[in-house]
């Protein structure tokens, strides 16, 4: 059941990432065209691009985590079964540590950012930092799925 829920979550996240990435490209294109062709600055484009970039990075990292898309370095030969088990445990521990840091300190950063407003687009900077704990939360959900299905978090 969790696999089906995570399949839907991943599909929604992937669609949102595609839209956010397209919007980021369009925003940067508008910034460059306005500055170089029209010779007028579009001040808001930098903040919008940074906002979209933040969402793409942290939510995209969660999707990549579920798909096994992060880099993996094989330190042991394929036949070293005991070493592979140790490596799987270390990978699990590292995943839990990274997820905990993203959720805990990302939430703190987002909370601190609620007291600041982006001057060019007039929104709380909370929205710039929210993807950090959200990405960590999605990674946690995907890690639980991996553990339930017996898949290594590598």
The predicted-structure confidence for 108-129, as pLDDT tens digits, reads as follows 999 999 999 999 999 999 999 9
Report yes or no on 52 lying in a domain. Answer: yes
Report yes or no on 29 lying in a domain. Answer: yes
Q: DSSP string covering 92-132, please? A: HHHHHHHHHHHHHHHHHHHHHHTT-B-TTT-SBTHHHHTHH
Number of domains in the chain: 1
Report yes or no on 51 lying in a domain. Answer: yes
The predicted-structure confidence for 28-81, as pLDDT tens digits, reads as follows 999 999 999 988 988 899 999 999 999 999 999 999 999 988 766 666 676 667
Asked if residue 31 lies in contact with residue 46, where contact means CB atoms within 8 angstroms, the answer is yes
Range of the domain at 75: 2-149
Report yes or no on 113 lying in a domain. Answer: yes
Per-residue pLDDT at 145: 94
Per-residue pLDDT at 16: 97
Report yes or no on 130 lying in a domain. Answer: yes
Report yes or no on 154 lying in a domain. Answer: no
Report yes or no on 72 lying in a domain. Answer: yes
Mean confidence (pLDDT) of the chain:
91
């Amino acid at each position: 059941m969790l696999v089906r829920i995570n399949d839907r979550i991943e599909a929604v996240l992937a669609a949102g990432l595609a839209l956010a990435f397209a919007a980021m490209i369009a925003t940067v294109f508008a910034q460059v065209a306005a500055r170089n062709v029209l010779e007028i600055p579009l001040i808001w484009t930098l903040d919008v691009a940074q906002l979209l970039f933040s969402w793409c990075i942290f939510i995209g990292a969660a999707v990549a985590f579920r798909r096994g898309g992060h880099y993996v370095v094989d330190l042991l030969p394929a036949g070293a079964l005991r070493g592979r088990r140790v490596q799987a445990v270390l990978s699990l521990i590292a995943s839990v540590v990274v997820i905990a840091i993203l959720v805990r300190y990302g939430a703190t950063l987002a909370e601190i950012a609620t007291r600041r407003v982006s001057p060019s687009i007039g929104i709380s900077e909370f929205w710039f930092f929210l993807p950090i704990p959200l990405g960590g939360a999605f990674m946690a959900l995907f890690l639980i799925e991996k553990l339930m299905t017996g898949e290594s978090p590598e």
